[in-house]
Each structure stands twice: as structure tokens, then as C-alpha cells.
Structure 1
Amino acid sequence: MTEALADRRPAPSLDRLVADLVPPPRFAQARLETYIPDPEHPSQGRAKERIGQFATTLGAPAPGGLLSRLRGRPKATPARGLYLDGGYGVGKTHLLTSLFHVAPGKPVYGTFVEYTNLVGAMGYRRAVSLFSDASVLCIDEFELDDVGDTLLMTRLIRELSDAGVAVVATSNTLPEALGEGRFAAQDFLREIQSMSERFEVLRIDGPDYRHRGGRIEARALSAQQVREHAETTAGATLDDFDDLLAHLKEVHPSRYGALIDDVSSVHLTGVHTIANHNDGLRFVVLVDRLYDREVPVLAAGADVSALYADELLSSGYRKKYYRSLSRLASLAGDGAALMGTAA
């Protein structure tokens, strides 16, 4: 019988969480040389050049870092960081992982949710100690789904920056606009402003590279086709969409990567429009992890373009939802290719 994601209960160890702080398979070979800027959007070429320049400044932690301060030496000048801002599909993650691959010493890479889960699992002071000797801390997909997590990360960024650790982050929103349309607490806004002062912002313009050759299309699949393909494919999973959404409520988003360990392709039946943020944002994270690990998706039901309700697509999280639609369309195209039904 084909396994269902909804039957999995991942419980990654602390060692596993630390070991996962590297670029995912999709970006394991990403390099600056393979980032091809769109000539119609010069900001892409400028960002590539600036990342290359920034890489040359990375090295061992500066004298006066965290350990030196603990010994009573003068405090180091806070390290400056880079903040890559732009729409989905302009290559921000490619540039971030390219920096990781050329950074000397001990670079660290993770998504926002991976960092917050790790800090929660090991404790704040231990996490600071773990990262204090990093040459650069790479934070992909800076999130704002939870005020507490965001305040935790701004504190971590300040402390590591004070210790001389370079920090480079990506997001779809400029740091001074983080929280706009979502949270309005004054203490939160003050924290965000203090974080933004640590970064040089690189705006990256352009269209979604996944669609440069035209919109990705995948022909509709029937539930029978999806089930039959799942039953004859090694490593495949098969889930009813509602069952999967219900299960995602019970699994912390930081474990979604472990949820899809050793999965060759994901099969879904009964796909329908998601109408609330709780389900929508969890599914966004799952799609991100599937995309990172290059796991094709075969789905029956609503078309990918109709996955998120208009209310969600016009909300403060709209960029995340549109990024998810772009990535899911790409994965559905991969799934259709497995079936030999790609448009």
C-alpha cells in the first residue's frame, strides 16, 4: 500500500537539525558563475557583482568578537550584512547559496523557520555559541508568521552581528516594511527598524525566472491517474488533500523537510481552493520544502492557479502565496512530465 504523508510523524534530532544547515539539493550546485542575470533588469547583474565583492570580505571572526567580549576585551564594530529584496523567482536563493559555497571558514545556511526551531530546541545561549564562529549566517525566506519568532531572530541577528558574524538574508519585503499589513505593535516595529540598520539592501527586479519561457502549464490529471501512478512508483506518497492539510496542523513547519525524507514524488487527490491563512501558510512551507528537494507533485482537483482564495492573494502575505503558486506550478510540470502529459 502506498504511504501517505499524513501517516508520517517526523521527529528530527538536534544533530539532524544542525546537519541540515546547508543549502538544499536544488541549490547544492548553485554558484555565482551559473547565475544568469536578465539583461533587461540591470539590478540582477549588480546584485551578482555585489555578492561576489561581499564574499571577498568574509573570513575569520574579527578580533573582539563574542569570545573576546566574554574575556573583557573591547566590543567589536557590528558587522554589516546584506538584505536581498525582490519578487519571487528573481534568483535571491541562488545568490544566497552561491555566497555560502564560496564563503571561507564555517558558513551556515538555513531558512527562517529552521533557525527559529533550532533555537527553540537547543536554547538561545547555546544557539548563539553555535553560530558565533560562523563566517556568515545565511537566512533564506525571512518570515513574519509569528511575532515572537521574528523578535527572536532580530535579537539573534543583533547579537551575532555585534560579535562580528556577517549576516545575509533574503525576503520579499524590505526590512523597514516587514510587518506591514500584518502586525502593528510598536515594540515589534522598533525591533524591525533596529534590524534593518544592520543591512545594506540590494533590490533585485525582474520576472519569475521559472516563467521566462512562458507560463508553466501542466495538463489536468484525474484522481484515478494520480492513484495509479502513486501505486506503481517507488518512494511515492498518496494523500487526500484535506487529510494532508489536517496533518500539517499537527507537524511543526520546521519538520516539513523531514516529513518528505526519501519521497520521490507527492500525489494528491481532492485538491481544492484554500480559503484561510492557517492552512495556506502551512501549505506554502510544504511547497517550499518540496521545491528545495526537487520533489515532483501530481495532483487531481482544482488547478494550481486556483489553489489560494482571492482573499489570501490580496493579503499581506500575497508575495508568499504567489511564490508558492510559481513553485507549485513548476513541481506540477515535473509531475506531469513523469506521466508523459506535460503541455
Structure 2
Amino acid sequence: MKTVQDHYEARVASGRIKPDPAQREALPAFERIRAALAEPPKRGLFRKAPEPPKGLYMWGGVGRGKSMLMDLFVDTLNVPARRAHFHAFMQEIHSEMHRLRGEGVADPIKPVAKAVSDSVKVLAFDEMQITDITDAMIVGRLFEHLFEAGTVLVTTSNRVPDDLYKDGLNRQLFVPFIELIKDRLEVRELASETDYRQDRLAGAQVFFTPANAESRKQIDAIWEELTHGSEETLTLHVKGRKLELPRYHNAMARASFYDLCGKMLGPADYLALADALRVLVIEGIPALSRHNFNEAKRFVTLVDALYEAKVRLIASAAAQPESLYIEGAGSFEFERTASRLREMQAAEWGANEG
């Protein structure tokens, strides 16, 4: 069976990725886990099941290749694994806990954890970060149950464990989870000097007008460069509703203006979206006026959420930002949105985040 290093070097040889010394140094940490999980179980009536390998917490700046290495690692596994964005996973956990409480289960964490551990051996998360107190209050108990069941956790993050939920409400109740991470996971920095995601977009056009076939062709090329053709569906659970992004990969999503602003979405949806993403592609932004006032209001709210979260925006639109909304109620207020859209086109936008 091929090692994680074998898969990495094959991608280098094919030209899909560029060799990076820091990434190569990180490969043995992934291979240690893959090799341990690949060991056949020892036979015998009284043989104890082997201890699961220690997991991995890999942190580092945005765009250093953490998600790519995680994908490569999961591709090498021969055991059931779940690859998910941490935020989306926690949304699912909250949704399932809410359902069980509705059925009269007083403490749903244990059955929820059992359902997860019964379905997978490895949980592979992108971008572990805790910003919500509801997440902070349950992750400790949730992962204690998962670890007890032998689930192996491999996760990436932009922060060292000690900075998770930093300055959060009642943080002292969260600190035991940080200690649990340090005990059950190998903590390792991916200290690459290159921000590959930013490099791919630096100096590139990211706002295309008009929204026509040529714009779509150029966005297709950027999307292929960012995702290497790998896509999945991201489902966010917001206040009991589902927000689905069918085209998603490694904290990057692609959607139409109608998907995001033509439906009955609100601030909570856009905040969840901004929290889950680092790059968003929006296609087909129309001219805005009194005729699509509600859609325009949603677009303003969406841009505000993306701006505050420093999400990289790639878009196609009927006109440049300053000319998108030139008449009708709301056109004056849109000047701030236009200014933000212009600022978000800068090559260095979001470069220093995380």
C-alpha cells in the first residue's frame, strides 16, 4: 500500500502541486496515523483491541497547504473516514441534539457521539475554530466520548490550541478541551513560508463584468486552479434550517447570486456562511434597483458579513461596483457596499488573516 509520502510525491511529479519543504516535513505525522490504522487486527480469543493511534492537530497560516495534505491523507486510508469542515460538523451535531431533545432525550451528547463513532474510524476536520459559546460548551464532552470509542481525530486550524475560543465567554469551562487536545493529539505547526491560496489570486482579476460567457470561462479557470476539480456539498444548519452549497471545497464555495440572495436568507445565514468560508465565488450579480429591492438588501447584508470575516470574494456582475445600484431606494446606502466590493478586490485582501 502506498504511503502518504508516495501520494505527495506522485502529485508533485504530475505537476498538481509544487514541492514544499514544510509540507514534506509534515508528511510523517500523517503517515504515522495511516500506517497504524492499516495494521491488520491481531487474531485470538483474548487479544485486546489495539489502542488507536494518537491523532493530529496541524496549525498554520491560511493557504499553507493544510487542507491539501488532509485530502491526501484521507485518500490513503483504508478505514471509514469522515472529511468535513469543522463548522459544518458542529452544526450537524447541534441539529441532531435538538432532534433528540424533542424526542425526550435529556442528555443527547452520548448518543450523538455514539452515532458518529459507529459510522467512522477517523474524523478529518478543516479549520477547527471555536467562536460560538454553544460549541464551546459541548465539544469537551462530545470528544471525550469519541476518543473513548476509539475515534481518531485529525484536524487543521489557523490557531494554536491555546488560542481556541480566545477571550470567549466562560472560557474557563472550555480550557479542559484544550488540554484534551494536547493529550490526545500531536500538535504540529505547518510553517510554510508560502501562502499558496493567496499566491493563486495575487494580481489576478477577481471581479468580472459583464456577467457573460467570457466571465464564466475565466472564473472556471480560477475555480479549477483553486480546487483541482474536487467538489462536494457543504450543508450548514442555521436556526433549524439547511443552507446548502453544492459546490464546495476546502473552505471555498461557488454559487449564483440567486442561490444566495434570491432566496429567503437572512443575517444569521450569511454570518454562518462567512464563518465557514475563506473564498466565495458569486456569479451573475444583476443590476440592482427598486425592482429587486429585497435581493439587493440581502446582497448588502451578505457583503457586510464577508467583509467583516475577511472572506476572499470572486464575482461576476452586470457592472462595476459603483454602477451596480444607481437608482431607487437603497442606492445611496449601497455606496458603502460598492466601496467594500472595491476594497475586496485588492491583491492583499485577507492575506494576513488567521
- TM above 0.5, one fold? yes
1:99 aligns with 2:73: yes
Identical residues among aligned pairs (%): 23
TM-score between the two structures when normalised by the length of structure 1: 0.57
2:129·2:165 contact (CA, 8 Å) conserved in 1? no
Change (3 A) 1:111 1:189: same
CA distance, structure 2, for counterparts of residue 221 and residue 199 of structure 1: 44
1:77·1:164 contact (CA, 8 Å) conserved in 2? yes
Residue 150 of structure 1 is matched in structure 2 by 136
1:253·1:282 contact (CA, 8 Å) conserved in 2? no
Change (3 A) 1:254 1:51: farther
The Cα of 1:278 is off from its aligned counterpart by 6.7
Aligned partner of residue 174 in structure 2, secondary structure: helix
Aligned counterpart in structure 1 of residue 31 of structure 2, from 52, 57, 65 = 52
CA distance, structure 2, for counterparts of residue 120 and residue 100 of structure 1: 25
CA distance, structure 1, for counterparts of residue 88 and residue 41 of structure 2: 26
Structure 1, unmatched stretches of 5+, are: 1-30, 64-72, 234-248, 272-276, 302-306, 313-320, 337-341
Aligned partner of residue 109 in structure 1, secondary structure: strand
2:237·2:243 contact (CA, 8 Å) conserved in 1? no
Residue 316 of structure 1 is matched in structure 2 by none
Q: Deviations over 1:176-208 (max 9, x none)?
A: 221224445311223322333221112112332
1:79·1:161 contact (CA, 8 Å) conserved in 2? no
Change (3 A) 1:49 1:76: closer
Query: Alpha carbon RMSD of aligned pairs, Å?
Result: 4.7
Aligned partner of residue 58 in structure 1, secondary structure: helix
Aligned partner of residue 179 in structure 2, secondary structure: helix
Aligned partner of residue 154 in structure 1, secondary structure: helix
Q: Quick one: which amino acid aligns to residue 96 of structure 2?
A: M
Aligned partner of residue 256 in structure 1, secondary structure: strand
Residue 167 of structure 1 is matched in structure 2 by 153
1:218 aligns with 2:205: yes
1:37·1:45 contact (CA, 8 Å) conserved in 2? no
Q: Quick one: which amino acid aligns to residue 94 of structure 1?
A: M
Aligned counterpart in structure 2 of residue 284 of structure 1, from 274, 285, 291 = 274
The Cα of 1:37 is off from its aligned counterpart by 5.6
1:61·1:164 contact (CA, 8 Å) conserved in 2? no
Change (3 A) 1:189 1:169: same
1:144·1:179 contact (CA, 8 Å) conserved in 2? yes
CA distance, structure 1, for counterparts of residue 56 and residue 237 of structure 2: 35
TM-score between the two structures when normalised by the length of structure 2: 0.55
Aligned partner of residue 116 in structure 1, secondary structure: helix
Q: Deviations over 1:96-127 (max 9, x none)?
A: 12222211121112122222232233343333
Residue 88 of structure 1 is matched in structure 2 by 62
Residue 6 of structure 1 is matched in structure 2 by none
The Cα of 1:138 is off from its aligned counterpart by 0.9
2:64·2:194 contact (CA, 8 Å) conserved in 1? yes
Aligned partner of residue 145 in structure 1, secondary structure: coil
Greater strand content: 2
Aligned partner of residue 244 in structure 2, secondary structure: helix
CA distance, structure 1, for counterparts of residue 134 and residue 114 of structure 2: 21
1:179 aligns with 2:165: yes
CA distance, structure 2, for counterparts of residue 200 and residue 122 of structure 1: 29
The Cα of 1:49 is off from its aligned counterpart by 3.3
Q: Quick one: which amino acid aligns to residue 45 of structure 1?
A: R
1:110·1:139 contact (CA, 8 Å) conserved in 2? yes
Q: Quick one: which amino acid aligns to residue 171 of structure 1?
A: S
Count of residues in Structure 1 that have an aligned counterpart in Structure 2: 251
CA distance, structure 2, for counterparts of residue 183 and residue 61 of structure 1: 45
Q: Which has the larger radius of gyration?
A: 2
In the TM superposition, 1:25-36 aligns within 5 A as 32=8, 33-34=10-11, 36=17
